[in-house]
Structure 1
């Protein structure tokens, strides 16, 4: 670091590089620490915020950059650390430990030739607990590949790149279809040479074309932006409700259904519908799943309901206030669905009308 010699010996250096690990979202750390108690590998601990490199190794006066660290110029010059977020993982774990009947599933040796990592599971805007949707698929331990085909890229180049991607990841087939959201919205599916198939909806209303594209998928990842009872809002925003997403999975004959892209009103956990069964799972930020996890995930639902019981209760109260049982608005909604040839919500997923 020869450039440091150009500065006076009294200079203090602010170090900001890949070795810095600082807490920026305490609520996210808290949720992840508590989920980690339920399952060690599906909900891995977030990285510690301690640095890898000892400060003494620099041999100069230095300060590690931290989230919300401030340098005050006046009236007294110096560092201000009062706003730096701090988290105590032990306190978070202790709080969750006091919840009765909280299940802890022990980890096991997992085959990671196929792994799905949920980098974000929320919709619209990033919030404190759920980031905007982002899903990473790791195949055969090959470094992750991000495919982005822009409008200005010649079609032949895109085609050649996709063919190379298929060969590199031992994929037998890759399909896309247009879906009902904004212009140029697509869903996709891909099939591995070993036989498994993954279907991903992106943002969409229930869509027949996607049912065909994802037919007989091993894993369907489908958006479930809104809860049941908000079908009209889902149509306005061109999204799916929980039961609509599950219904698509049933039509598709998907072996497992993973719901994601939740409205940020369901920050910690979405509301469960009556259509949940052993094929249906819900996603969380930082969650990692592989084939062996598919069958264990339903066993985690009771623990998740216990951990977030207070939040679920509050959401159910809001739903009741928004749409009281027997209200004229609900009756008119059911009548409107009947007039359109659609089944009432209680059986809608059995005969889902897609567009």
Structure 2
């Protein structure tokens, strides 16, 4: 069976190991959502990952609504991403942007407009936030959907212009695609609501756009299929996500990543049974699993055949050389949650790497 350190092909992307850097919002872009030079160092430091999936990257201003998160809708953003991507490539890494539309979670005080969603619902406040910054979303019209599909096309096209190795669709964690897929947030009575096939329509249309721009073998997707996430839930997640995975299988995409929570996980706990094994039956391409993994459990899921690779989030925040540390059995730096979203280099580019062996 493969180890974490064996190479793998994510479609057309040849990865030197199976330790993927999960997407991690860090808030170090400008207020205009343009990547900064500090981000060059951050991603270059972590180029030892088999594949880097960037922090959520907005496809449009109206769909972002997150302070200091980067975007991919303007020429200025493309030009600022180019040195980030070039630095990762120069260090031997591979990198794709996670294309992000927050839907009802796009903060109106950041985007400047009422958020869009499948239906007129309001997202709950994030844990630990005393006041809810979210407002009621406006149900997307046919024109809104058409414009958003064009935004996805433009973002994917801009990603290729910037030199990225492909793209990854954020269809997880209660954001726009998830809001359409789940019956707990989608109350539409048109072609995008009701039966599962209708609720998957936006996913299929977005994938059609991304594949047209980047190629199926350079396009990945992230789901969070089990349990409620940020107020987004479904009465029968298996009936939604297994068919969704089967559709992705028919497209021949580069990879599918699942963030599945358990009852004792650090964040976003869930008592809903995980669907990874059932999704594995429907999707035989490269499957990446995520959520609170350590090296032992990661290797066990590779050994069982449940996963082809594992993505790590917080360990990559605190350990730019995570792959080397795991390979050597070296101790890991502990991440500092207080600096996850703060500006500047503290808790971003100042975590120490291993000292070279004497």
TM over 0.5: no
TM-score by length of 2: 0.33
TM (norm. structure 1) is: 0.33
Of the two structures, which has the highest relative contact order with CA contacts closer than 8 Å and spacing of 6 or more?
Answer: 2
